[in-house]
């Protein structure tokens, strides 16, 4: 039901807004505290009353003979007063500051009784009883607690339990949207009064409970309610950090559906304020510049709740606001660079709201600006020396021989470290051709296939987890690990999706820290990892350590192990102490947690430190940007390897044809077959055609997927050219024949395709 709360009909009048404490532009600080009236001002008030003939105080001001009354402390501890003021003689406006905690009214209506009231009102059309419930409940913070608190005057001062009957709240809000318009308006008016009335003084836990209930109101989907919603968000955003801590944990306990609705309402609010469909429905941006900062900060509480939950309530991608893809995000980034996390608001302070598309663009443009600056300086130097300017200096030109692919690539990247941020151009020695992207992709594909082959020895392939991990063998030169890191960085910068299967913890380590330390002796890649991280690499070992932690018997006698571990390196078994004297320290029930954590740290950090450090520095040599601070580990993986989420319908809409049209029988049969494929075969098709079963950051449109006609016998299988993301189809006569030949081709292709 539409509520017209805008302009003259809005109950939140301009004079009411003025009663709320002001907020500085882009500031989320709390409003000004009301000072306690000084002794002098109090005396002045009394003198004014006497002069005006007021007789509100019939007794003298000082009553030293009165006993057993609560006394005020002296105004200044250094001043000795002959008489002190009794609280019993203070005027009402001053005494009000000293009243005890208000008592929450007792409300006995249950969720079932309320539902019965709504059902009767729906049938009879008499909504008075339901209307009165809403009118009373939303009249103040106290009434909200009275209605929804499990026990009216119980403290519930814990992060584990908000004390709110969430089921009852949901029932009341679900019914609200189906009540008459005057009932819905009465709720909004009550919220206005609550926000105006409850601002004074420090927040109590009951205040937090009221905010917790109010922010779940489903009415905040209409721009007509946005002025009220904005003031509610401002008050929540201005709470103390300790209060935010409570709200964050309470949000974590919400049902998934309600949690997601909260996020969606905040996202809609931010989007509508940025790009209003009807600007006249909202106040001018100049007068409400604090709306978006307040909403974003409240959204950050929900993001934090999602992050600390044992399993994510919603995917982290649900926090992306895709409309921000269309703002000037580079200006936002540069403002953040200049001012950091100061009071000047930027979206980069809250990177969870920025999509991977935006973050990739920021990294690329930031690197491009660094490259342009370097190229400009090179041009100036050459001109000043009167040397001939070669435009090739604008590119990172790599020349390699196919038979010495790894060594030549390593030499080229080592010699041209200063050019790594330039656009990549690859030439294969002895082969004619201009690199328009195909040669670059082929270079990546061939290098990755060779480096990650188990015979090469740099990485081991773990069958149980289907991923690669760093070999722990020791050597004198780790430059090839640096090459792999640089390859990953170049792939991000040049928008190439790599078919690499690293476990997620590799990307955590790559961001530890996200910016390369100035001190070369500072450890890098030493992330704090857990048993869950080990589970994604070595599930059998992780399972065994998990059983050790949960074992109920005597660990020392039954397991008979010490703080010493053994590892095979090039056929030789070596022992390592997890702590000094570890070979003589038995693992017991008391120290087994320490043992497991040290074992995980050894396997995933210490035993491969030099290999990973070289890999880390190689990656950051290309992607050295403060923009990496904006990324989650999962987002780094998506930048490097692409997204695992396939949408073949989207691919069908953006595919290019050569020799065919979308109405040709072969093409119609192709899409009928592909769209009916199970996910596993769809992934094989993508891998067969592009060299990877993942989708680039920009989606299917960035694949440049092409279907070409090849005039050969229909006995032939389809052929792919992975360097150009191209699949060639003979003109098959039937859908059955096409399905059979395509399935054989994509299920038996080796490496990166048939050609």
Q: What is the pLDDT of residues 495-544, one digit of tens each?
A: 888 989 999 999 999 999 999 998 988 999 999 999 999 999 999 999 99
Helix axes 291-308, 256-274, angle to 10 degrees: 150
> Rounded distance, CA 753 to CA 755, Å?
6
Q: What is the spatial distance between Cα 708 and Cα 658, in angstroms, rounded to a whole number? A: 5
Confidence at 66, pLDDT banded by 50, 70, 90: very low
Our CA dihedral for 304, 307, 308, 312, rounded to 10 degrees, sits at 130
Q: Which of 348, 467, 505, 723 is catalytic?
A: 723
Strand partners, 706: 656, 726
Q: What is the mean pLDDT of the chain?
A: 85
First CA to last CA distance, the chain: 61
Q: Return the closest-CA partner of residue 363 out of 625, 46, 540.
A: 625
User: Is residue 109 classed as helix, strand or coil in its secondary structure?
Assistant: coil
Q: For 535-568, write each residue's pLDDT tens digit.
A: 999 999 999 999 999 999 999 999 999 999 998 8
CB 698 within 8 A of CB 647: no
Q: How confident is the model at residue 385 (pLDDT cuts 50, 70, 90)?
A: confident
Instruction: Please give the share of the chain, as a percent, with pLDDT higher than 70.
Output: 84
d(CA 751, CA 424): 24
Q: Among this protein's residues, is 723 annotated catalytic?
A: yes
Q: Which helix (H) or strand (E) holds 334?
A: helix 329-339
Question: How many C-beta atoms lie closer than 10 Å to residue 434's C-beta?
Answer: 8
Residue 439: Cβ within 10 Å count: 19
User: How confident is residue 590, by pLDDT bands cut at 50, 70 and 90?
Assistant: very high
> For position 577, what pLDDT does the model report?
96
Q: Convert the pLDDT of each residue in 708-723 to its tens digit.
A: 999 999 999 999 998 8
Compute the average pLDDT of residues 45-63.
38
Output the CA angle 245-246-251, nearest 5 degrees. Answer: 100
Out of 198-212, 214-228, 275-289, 380-394, least confident range:
380-394
User: Parallel, antiparallel, or unpaired for β 564-569 and 572-577?
Assistant: antiparallel
Q: Cβ–Cβ contacts within 10 Å for residue 305, how many?
A: 20
Rounded CA-CA distance 738/456 in Å is 38
In this structure, how many other beta carbons lie within 10 angstroms of the beta carbon of residue 491?
24
Q: pLDDT per residue over 418-435, tens digit each?
A: 888 888 899 999 887 666
**Percent of the chain topping pLDDT 90:** 64
pLDDT at position 342 is: 77
Sheet of 726-729, strands arranged across = 656-658, 706-709, 726-729, 719-721
Which tens digit of pLDDT belongs to each residue from 146-198? 999 998 878 888 999 999 999 999 999 999 999 999 999 999 999 999 888 75
Say how far apart CA 639 and CA 621 lie, in whole Å: 16
- Asked if the model's pLDDT at residue 670 lies above 60, the reply is yes
Tell me which of 34-43, 99-108, 209-218, 726-735 is least confident. Answer: 34-43
The separation between CA 433 and the C-alpha centre of its own chain, rounded to angstroms, equals 43
pLDDT in tens, 236-246: 999 999 999 99
Q: Which domains, and CATH codes, for the chain?
A: 111-351 (no CATH), 362-510 (3.90.1750.10), 643-748 (3.30.2410.10)
Radius of gyration of the chain (CA): 34
Provide mean pLDDT across the span 130-146: 94
Give the mean model confidence (pLDDT) for residues 314-329.
Answer: 95
Least confident of 4-13, 452-461, 719-728, 735-744: 4-13
pLDDT at residue 91, as a whole number: 55
Q: Are 593 and 548 in contact (CB under 8 A)?
A: no
What is the rounded average pLDDT of the residues 96-109?
65
Residue 85 pLDDT grade (very low, low, confident, very high; cuts 50, 70, 90): very low
């Amino acid at each position: 039901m539409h509520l017209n709360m805008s302009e003259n009909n809005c109950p939140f009048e301009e004079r009411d807004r003025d009663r709320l404490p002001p907020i500085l532009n882009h500031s989320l600080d709390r409003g000004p505290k009301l000072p306690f009236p000084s002794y002098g001002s109090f005396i002045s008030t009394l003198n004014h009353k006497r002069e005006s003939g007021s007789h509100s105080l019939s007794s003298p001001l000082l009553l030293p003979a009165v006993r057993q009354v609560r006394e005020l402390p002296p105004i200044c501890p250094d001043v000795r007063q002959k008489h002190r003021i009794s609280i019993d003689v203070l005027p009402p406006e001053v005494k009000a500051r000293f009243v005890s905690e208000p008592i929450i009214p007792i409300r006995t209506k249950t969720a079932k009784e309320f539902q019965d009231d709504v059902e009767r009102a729906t049938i009879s059309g008499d909504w008075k009883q339901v209307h009165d419930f809403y009118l009373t409940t939303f009249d103040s913070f106290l009434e909200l607690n009275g209605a929804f608190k499990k026990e009216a005057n119980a403290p519930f001062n814990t992060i584990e339990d908000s004390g709110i009957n969430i089921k009852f709240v949901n029932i009341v809000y679900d019914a609200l949207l189906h009540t008459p318009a005057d009932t819905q308006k009465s709720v909004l008016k009550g919220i206005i009064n609550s926000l105006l009335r409850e601002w004074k003084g420090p927040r109590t836990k009951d205040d937090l409970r009221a905010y917790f209930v109010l922010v779940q109101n489903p009415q905040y989907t209409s721009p007509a309610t946005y002025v009220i919603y904005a003031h509610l968000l401002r008050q929540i955003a201005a709470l103390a950090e300790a209060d935010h801590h409570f709200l964050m944990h309470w949000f974590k306990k919400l049902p998934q559906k309600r949690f997601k609705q909260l996020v969606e309402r905040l996202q809609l609010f931010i989007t509508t304020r940025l790009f209003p469909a009807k600007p006249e429905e909202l106040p001018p941006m100049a007068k409400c510049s604090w709306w978006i900062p307040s909403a974003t900060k409240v959204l950050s509480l929900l993001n934090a709740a999602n992050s600390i939950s044992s399993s994510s309530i919603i995917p982290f991608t649900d926090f992306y606001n895709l409309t921000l893809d269309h703002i000037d995000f580079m200006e936002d980034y540069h403002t953040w660079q200049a001012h950091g996390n100061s009071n000047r608001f930027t979206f980069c302070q809250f990177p969870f709201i920025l999509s991977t598309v935006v973050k990739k663009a920021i990294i690329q443009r930031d690197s491009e600006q660094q490259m342009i600056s370097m190229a400009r300086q090179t041009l100036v130097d050459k001109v000043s020396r009167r040397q001939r300017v070669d435009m090739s200096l604008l590119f990172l030109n790599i020349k390699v021989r196919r038979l010495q692919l790894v060594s030549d690539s390593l030499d080229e990247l080592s010699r041209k470290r200063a050019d790594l941020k330039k656009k990549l151009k690859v030439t294969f020695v002895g082969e004619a051709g201009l690199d328009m992207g195909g040669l670059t992709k082929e270079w990546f594909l061939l290098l990755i296939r060779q480096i990650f082959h188990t015979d090469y020895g740099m990485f081991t392939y773990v069958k149980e987890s289907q991923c690669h991990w760093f070999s722990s063998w020791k050597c004198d030169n780790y430059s090839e690990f640096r090459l792999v890191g640089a390859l990953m960085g170049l792939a991000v910068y040049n928008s190439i999706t790599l078919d690499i299967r690293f476990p997620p913890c590799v990307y955590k380590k790559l961001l530890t820290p996200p910016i390369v330390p100035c001190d070369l002796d500072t450890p890098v890649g030493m992330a704090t990892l857990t048993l869950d991280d080990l589970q994604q690499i070595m599930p059998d070992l992780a399972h065994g350590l998990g059983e050790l932690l949960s074992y109920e018997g005597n660990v020392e006698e039954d397991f008979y192990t010490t703080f010493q571990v053994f590892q095979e390196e090039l056929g030789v078994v070596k022992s390592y102490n997890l702590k000094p004297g570890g070979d003589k320290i038995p693992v017991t029930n008391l120290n087994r947690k320490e043992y497991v954590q040290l074992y995980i740290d050894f396997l995933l950090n210490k035993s491969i430190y030099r290999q990973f450090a070289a890999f880390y520095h190689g990656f950051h040599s290309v992607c050295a940007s403060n923009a990496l601070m904006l990324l989650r580990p999962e987002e780094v993986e998506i930048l490097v390897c692409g997204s695992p989420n396939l949408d073949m319908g989207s691919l069908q809409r953006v595919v290019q044809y050569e020799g065919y049209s979308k109405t040709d029988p072969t093409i119609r049969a192709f899409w009928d077959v592909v769209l009916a494929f199970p996910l596993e075969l769809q992934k094989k098709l993508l891998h067969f055609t592009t060299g990877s079963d993942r989708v680039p950051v920009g989606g299917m449109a960035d694949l440049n997927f092409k279907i070409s006609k090849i005039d050969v016998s229909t006995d032939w299988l389809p052929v792919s050219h992975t360097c150009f993301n191209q699949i060639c189809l003979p003109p098959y006569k039937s859908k059955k024949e096409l399905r059979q030949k395509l399935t054989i081709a994509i299920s038996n292709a080796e490496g990166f395709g048939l050609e």
